[in-house]
Amino acid sequence: MRALQNSMGCSRAAALILTISLAACGGGGRAPDQAEAAEMLPDAPSVAQQLPPSIRGDAGPLRGTDLQYVPGDNVSTGYLSVPEGDGPFPALVIVHEWNGLVDRVRQVADDLAAEGYVTLAVDLFDARTGSNPDENRALTGEVRANPEKMLANMNAAVAYLKGRPDVTGRVGAMGWCFGGGIALSYGLDGDDHDATAIFYGALVDDPARLAVLDHEVYGTFARLDQGPSPESVEAFETALREAGIQNDLHIYDAVNHGFWLHVDQEPELRSEPALDAWQRLMAYLDRTLR
């Protein structure tokens, strides 16, 4: 694992509770068959040496569609974004931060669709969002109290994507902070999928637990963060290595928690490391999903 310098800026339920409990961070849908009417995103991969609009903070209007993807659940409402063309395409499930499925996450879904991935941003908070830390903690606490519901939600998202005729069958999961911890939990306990990408989420340092992973793991972290701390990231990397799991983990210096999804808050400081993380992510998804 390299750190860019300042210039680059346990049963199933028990294991899920352990991971999710560490994952708090600082920073009316349509039925699945109706999602076919979603506007398709033209193939428009990001320009070399440039972050996508969602990460820069200057994305245009949303192009995807709301989607109720959990059978029998009329409340949980995700957001689906589909590439233009017949495909088939690889797919991604992306998991929101601790404040819920907000437009910034929907914009990321649109940008990932423009890169050629059918992308479903899941809703783990029953169509609710938080507006302050107390509300956010209450929402994540509900997930922590019922990890099996979370697992069923994620399994339904993956099943929906794998069932689409325009999807190759290869699906990855990624998330930020709370969502990063969920992505790792899902990699350990969820239905079979092909990639796990973590942005400063809660980690596991038990090689025996991590040994169940059957794919390479991506991780982006911040040197000035304590959730997780650099020491936790190093312990995670050591455990992955002992478990024989390939990984691409990087700690970026001079930035703090939340730097990647919110580059526009400190663009001069965050843009360069965020671009490196984006380029690594694109290469990782290409390796694991294409």
Cα distance between residue 53 and residue 59, in whole Å: 5
Coil/strand/helix, residue 45: coil
Model pLDDT, residue 159: 97
pLDDT at position 44, please?
A: 55
Closest CA to 160 of 31, 30, 32, 29: 32
pLDDT at 42 over 90: no
CB 128 within 8 A of CB 104: no
Among 215, 183, 177, 228, residue whose Cα is nearest residue 199: 177
The mean pLDDT value for 155-170 works out to 97
- Which residues contact residue 264 at a Cβ distance below 8 angstroms, ignoring those fewer than 6 apart? 56, 57, 58
Is the CB of residue 83 less than 8 Å from the CB of residue 114? yes
Angle of helix 178-189 relative to helix 12-21, nearest 10 degrees, comes to: 160
223 half-sphere exposure, CB direction, 13 A CA radius: 14
Top mean-pLDDT range of 27-36, 39-48, 268-277: 268-277
Q: What is the mean pLDDT of the chain?
A: 88
Q: Residues 97-109: pLDDT tens digits?
A: 999 999 999 999 9
Whether 151 contacts 95, CB under 8 Å: no
What average pLDDT score do residues 28-55 get? Answer: 61
Element (H, E) at 257: none
Q: What is the pLDDT of residue 87?
A: 87
Task: Grade residue 268 by pLDDT with cuts at 50, 70 and 90.
Answer: very high
pLDDT digits (tens, 9 = 90+) for 131-146: 999 999 999 999 999 9
Count of CB atoms situated within 10 Å of the CB of 248: 16
What CATH class has 2-9+12-289?
alpha beta
Give the integer Cα–Cα distance in Å for 247 and 219.
Answer: 8
Q: What is the domain partition of the chain in residue ranges?
A: 2-9+12-289
Nearest CA-CA partner of 106 in 167, 64, 43, 155:
64
pLDDT at 223 over 90: yes
Q: Does pLDDT of 4 surpass 50?
A: no
Round the CA-based radius of gyration of the chain to a whole number and report it. Answer: 17
Is 12's pLDDT higher than 50?
Answer: no
pLDDT band at 49 (very low <50, low <70, confident <90, very high): confident
Q: What is the pLDDT of residue 7?
A: 34
Residue 23 has pLDDT above 90, yes or no: no
